[in-house]
Amino acid sequence: MTAYCVRRDLFYTYWTGHSHDELAKNGTEMNKMLASTSYNGEALTSQPRSSRGSSSSGMDLSYVTERIISVWFPSSTNSHSYRQGQRQAAHMLTSKHGDNYMVFNLTEPKRALRNEHKHVKEVGWAQNLAPPLEKLCSVCKEIDSWLSGDQHRIAVLHARGNKDKLGVIVAAYMHYSSICGSAEQALDRFSMRRFLDDNVGPLALPSNKRYVDYFAGLLSHNIKINAAPLYLTHVTVLGAPCFQRGGCKAFLKLYEGQTPVYTSGVYNVSSGVSQFTVNVAGERRRGLQLRGDILIKCYHRGDVGRETVFACQFHTCAVADYTLSFTRQELDVACNDPRFPVDGAVELHFSPGPEGRHPAPAPTPAVPFTLADDPITRADSPFFVEEFDDEGDSDSGN
């Protein structure tokens, strides 16, 4: 059973385990407390804001709230320093909380975690991607379930490398607790917001921001669930990415969940081209059916390999129109790449149903210069989360 198959009035029970009446009552009480409570910085928690590990490990252990802790390591930390840092973290956590803490690992599985900590739950997802929407919900529910089991329990969020994963989970849980939590947890929301501002900063990946917004909107009723599949017919890229002689050789790949469902031909986009369109439907009567978590990636086919031009994740349950547009600032990779036009954008066009008429494509759609089978265009992106061998001498953390 998946969220996009659930009727709107069952969304809350499915995603949160609470009834709609319970959420409405708690939300009202929470709003009253938030309206009457001022933000007083350090007074929000009796715990220390941050306790750093040794400079050799680079570990950063911070209290998010009194019962939620983050443990973060930079990607440059080598295996020896990482294991040393885990031992230090385990000693600090055990001396303070005994066995009453659970480590929620947001990155790839690591033996050092399981060796040093009694309770470890693997909840990670692939690097440089937003978590699937149901993963975001399930992690929030698991944290809430663990903390609700005993008032002495502590949740430890562990990540290595980019801090976006910590930011996504803390931001999502902040929204989750404001709907599902008690009125007494209002101060925790201030602590979580302060942690995000002071320790994480703005989320670097636009898709992460989008998925947190999806989650918050679905919880609050601001987004109406679309349970029907979408039928993609055309993808229009506005502007010419400058990867080769003022243009690029672009091709698209689409994934539904972790399954590749479409690969386009390679399009020769020359300098000065204002836009180009990929006809996904082709000669078929219907568009490409999509449902759930969708990833679209555009690559430049270089002479010896490929480079990502842009990537974008969205969930069909939050799409209510037949055109979905993303500006440069809303595209992963492209948002920080000067080779993508500042005023560039991507538009996805959908038909209203399997037999519906296709939306009119953009003027003068580009024609692929090759449709031949190519191992470089055919190769798929990795989605799996590998076991990290932390017994080696070094690790890139990517």
Domain ranges for the chain, please list them: 3-220, 230-378
Residue-wise pLDDT tens digits, 123-135: 999 888 999 999 9
The residue that leads in pLDDT, 17 or 326, is 326
| pLDDT, position 10 | 39
Q: Which range, 39-43, 233-237, 376-380, is most confident? A: 233-237
Q: Which range, 6-10, 143-147, 283-287, is most confident? A: 143-147
Q: Looking at the predicted structure, is the pLDDT value of residue 100 above 60?
A: yes
For the chain, percent of residues with pLDDT exceeding 90: 53
**Domain 3-220 classification at class level:** alpha beta
Give CA–CA dist 234/350, Å, rounded.
Answer: 7
Q: List beta partners, residue 102.
A: 155
95: confidence class by pLDDT, cuts 50, 70, 90: very high
9: confidence class by pLDDT, cuts 50, 70, 90: very low
Q: Looking at the predicted structure, is the pLDDT value of residue 49 above 90?
A: no
Judged by average pLDDT, the poorest of 59-63, 244-248, 394-398 is 394-398
Residue-wise pLDDT tens digits, 159-178: 999 899 999 999 999 999 88
pTM reported for the whole predicted model = 0.82
Average pLDDT over residues 14-20: 47
CATH code assigned to 230-378:
2.60.40.1110
Residue-wise pLDDT tens digits, 336-387: 999 999 999 999 999 877 766 555 555 455 666 776 677 788 787 766 555 4
Count of alpha carbons within 13 angstroms of residue 132, beta-carbon side: 20
* Token pair for 345: 């954008």
121: confidence class by pLDDT, cuts 50, 70, 90: very high
| pLDDT, position 313 | 97
